[in-house]
Structure 1
Amino acid sequence: MLYEEFDELWQVAQKRQVIFFYAGYFSQPVVAAISETIRARMDSAGAAGPTRRRIFSAFVEMSQNIMHYSSEALTPADQRDSQMRRGSFCIGTSGDHFFLLCANPVSTDRVPGLRSRLEGLRTMTVDEIKAAYKQALRAEVPADSKGAGLGFLTMAREASEPLEFEFAPSPNEPDTTIFCIKAII
């Protein structure tokens, strides 16, 4: 019985070509451990240096997004250091590309702003994304940002296709939405 449960999960992971999956609370030590695992997996998969760098860069931004903005935390919401917030991350392959997918709960009132920023990125060319990134480096940090405000721009810059995203209502919490974002590299 236990093996059947495990085998079912394993078969789904194999079918979807999942290389790594984590669901739980993200903290700096967890991100560091996942980073080591991703590096080792990319080495064993024979990923080229530039591809490994882009994957790692997008992973760091996704994990920072979870640690800064997930609405479910084990630490106080205003705590800036040693945050522990819930989310999930997956990396896998699809054809000749890698995909990175993450999800985390967010307050539903943040959805319009997130959607606006992400839809704007989807319409930008690679050159426009690079220019926006350079401009953001020189600009003041946005008031609602807990970082430098470069996360989505970095993900979009590293991706080989426009970022995909979705907002799904949380089934048990009406004020919470599950935010999912995917980067193809």
Structure 2
Amino acid sequence: MKYLIAGLGNIGAEYELTRHNIGFLTLDRLADKEGFTFENTRLAEKAEFKHKSRHIHLIKPTTYMNLSGKAINFWLQELKIPKENLLVLVDDIAIPFGNLRLRTKGSAAGHNGLKNIEQVTGGSNYSRLKMGIGDDYSKGKQVDFVLSPFTKKEFEELPFMMDKAIDMCLSFCTVGAVHTMNNFND
């Protein structure tokens, strides 16, 4: 069985350690743990590995966050992976920092990356792992907040959240979304 895990973020050094890039950061941590590297390829940085007889493809779209759907749709088609085997890792300001929630569908909730995925792939019927980054910003400062670096305290706690997210990704690929939600959702 084949799976596509897409971590959302923005390319470029200025975005590397920002809250909006938590999807990229989590996939980089998975690559470090499993000992593989990403290659720059069409519309994304891509890697693949096997886990419990599952063939898992990882992408970090190089299209910037707001056009993530273009890369995801391309790789779903290219690899002939059904949409039900897609998992998108995304930051979420409506969830407290450190909490994780897997959903098999849902609204974009104002997230431009998710909006674009829905537009390009034809709906919201795909799984997403929402990674809580909190909402500690002043009115009208949401964009500044998501594009700012983690605080020192958050940065210290980040590895624990990313490790749990990695466990959830592997669980999604081996036992499915429902079982993963029941065992892991905060």
Q: Tell me the TM-score normalised to structure 1 length.
A: 0.26
TM-score, length basis structure 2 = 0.26
